[in-house]
Amino acid sequence: MTHRADRLRAAVIEEVADIIKHRLKDPRVGFVSVTDAEISADGRQARVFVSVLGDSAALAQAMQGLTSATGFVRSELASRLRLRFTPEVSFHHDPSIERGARIQRILVDIRQEGQAEDEGG
């Protein structure tokens, strides 16, 4: 990835996170974190990956809210980034945080079982 592409990716992540946090007023979009972005080689497409705190219903609502706000997010990006072509934004769920939390819970359970066996046996 080129230096310009890296800078654009970082700028998109930062600005979209700020837009979601401070400018988006949709009540369906609750606790959403921008985790990553993929920018196409020509800079015209941006896949923004988000993690949502909550259950599957909260995830579905947040994704609906983000999908309906793509035009607003893109127009905000256009005014903030001042590029020749503002990328088309699409939102995608990133399950990595949930996966990490699940692994953490499993490790804690294993550690507790090991301590219980050491104490009992």
Element (H, E) at 47: strand 45-52
**First and final CA of the chain: distance in angstroms?**
55
| Phi, psi dihedrals of residue 37, rounded to the nearest 5° | -150, 145
d(CA 53, CA 50): 10
d(CA 10, CA 65): 23
What confidence tens digit (pLDDT) does each residue in 39-84 have?
998 889 999 999 998 888 999 999 999 999 999 999 999 999 988 8
pTM here? 0.81
d(CA 5, CA 2): 5
